Structure 1
Amino acid sequence: MTDLPYRRNVGAALFNRNGRVLIARRADLGPDVATAWQLPQGGLDEGEDARTAVLRELAEEIGTDKAEIVGEVADWLHYDLPPELIGKALRGQYRGQTQKWFALRFTGQDSDIRLDQDPHPEFDAWRWAELAELPQIAVAFRQPIYARLVEEFATFARRG
């Protein structure tokens, strides 16, 4: 496992005007899995700037670019996949991901969020959630990162 590299990735905590954060349900896990929810995130292309990538990922995954970056975690955060997913998840090429996380303010309307823009959507549902919910809705190996995001982005979880 330690021979495999980490996949470089960006993540988006998208906050609405009420200080709630967008979470989306993974289509491949189904509606009955309590930890099927996550924040939008995706791979960083070779030579791509992380700020550019996070806006691209929002457009690809949730169908909107109506957002502005308002903050970021200074460090790159990483997680390891559990042993049963090594060689299966992330195309079998990585042991986990190293992620640059951004806080973004949503500048659009709820109708601007369109999960149906991709022919193979990653998500099948979305909702606004309290930031403090993040660790409880995530799969176990992502919970420490989401707990860190709760601390780092608390200031953005306020109205206005």
Structure 2
Amino acid sequence: MPKPIREDMPYRDCVGIALFNDKGQVFIGRRRPEDDPEDSAEAGAPWQMPQGGIDKGEAPIEAATRELFEETSVRSARLIAEAPEWIYYDLPDEALGIALKGKYRGQRQRWFAFAFTGEEAEINVIEPGDGHPSEFDAWRWEELTRTPDLIVPFKHDAYLKVVAAFADIPLPVSDG
């Protein structure tokens, strides 16, 4: 089967979530090494912030709230910022036509920053909200500026843009 032509393929519309704790660190999850449901090119990728597709008829902020719950069980969060523009990444050549169900050249992501307002016991990546399949096998808090070096290499530049978009969030992000 011939390789698809990158320029003829669309981007998948998605959201990304930077969930900040009261120390100004962000939630990152370690991708499950087996059966990555979204992107076979990411199988075994160590860490990333929550992200996922925007369903038909769904507003990006609704998708962000849903994805955060489906991947982390977190409902205790308040919106603090939205990235000013869409952030894009392209799949590497070897994943084109395979990853993202073979339909997309990469993702067009709308990023949101939330403040986590609950207790850490609320976070559950092994059995996340609404019986959603687990996408992470571990999680931790990390400095936002370190995340570009923890993600799969083809998302590095996109994560640099996320860092820039949320660099001016006042810390700590709690109400108190």
The 1:119–1:153 alpha-carbon spacing in structure 2 relative to 1, beyond 3 Å, is: closer
Displacement of 1:149 in angstroms is 1.5
- The partner residue of 1:120 within 106, 124, 133 is 133
- In 1, Cα distance between equivalents of 2:95 and 2:29: 21
Displacement of 1:103 in angstroms is 0.6
The 1:69–1:153 alpha-carbon spacing in structure 2 relative to 1, beyond 3 Å, is: same
Q: Does 1:76 align with 2:89?
A: no
One-letter amino acid of the structure 2 residue matched with residue 110 of structure 1: E
The 1:139–1:53 alpha-carbon spacing in structure 2 relative to 1, beyond 3 Å, is: same
Displacement of 1:28 in angstroms is 2.3
Listed one character per residue, the Cα deviations across residues 13-67 of structure 1 (whole Å, up to 9, x for unaligned) are 00001100000000026xxx99510010000011111111100000101111111
Q: Does 1:136 align with 2:136?
A: no
- In 2, Cα distance between equivalents of 1:156 and 1:16: 12
- The partner residue of 1:148 within 161, 164, 173 is 161
User: Partner of 2:134: helix, strand, or coil?
Assistant: coil
Listed one character per residue, the Cα deviations across residues 86-142 of structure 1 (whole Å, up to 9, x for unaligned) are 111111111100000011100111110111124531110000001111111011111
- In 2, Cα distance between equivalents of 1:157 and 1:146: 19
Q: What is the correspondence of 1:101-120 to structure 2 with a 5 Å cutoff?
A: 101-115=111-125, 116-117=127-128, 118=131, 120=133
One-letter amino acid of the structure 2 residue matched with residue 37 of structure 1: W
- In 1, Cα distance between equivalents of 2:132 and 2:19: 23
Is 1:14–1:105's contact at 8 Å kept on the other side of the alignment?
Answer: yes
- In 2, Cα distance between equivalents of 1:111 and 1:157: 25
- In 1, Cα distance between equivalents of 2:99 and 2:135: 14
Q: Normalized against structure 2, the TM-score is what? A: 0.84
Size of the aligned set, in residue pairs, is 158
Dislocated runs of 4+, deviation >6 Å? none
One-letter amino acid of the structure 2 residue matched with residue 94 of structure 1: Y
- Flag structure 1 segments of 5+ consecutive residues without an equivalent: none
Is 2:31–2:45's contact at 8 Å kept on the other side of the alignment?
Answer: no
**Aligned match of 1:13:** 18
- In 1, Cα distance between equivalents of 2:160 and 2:133: 29
Q: CA RMSD in A?
A: 1.9
State, as a whole percentage, how many aligned pairs show the same letter. 45
Higher Cα Rg: structure 1 or 2? 2
**Aligned match of 2:38:** none
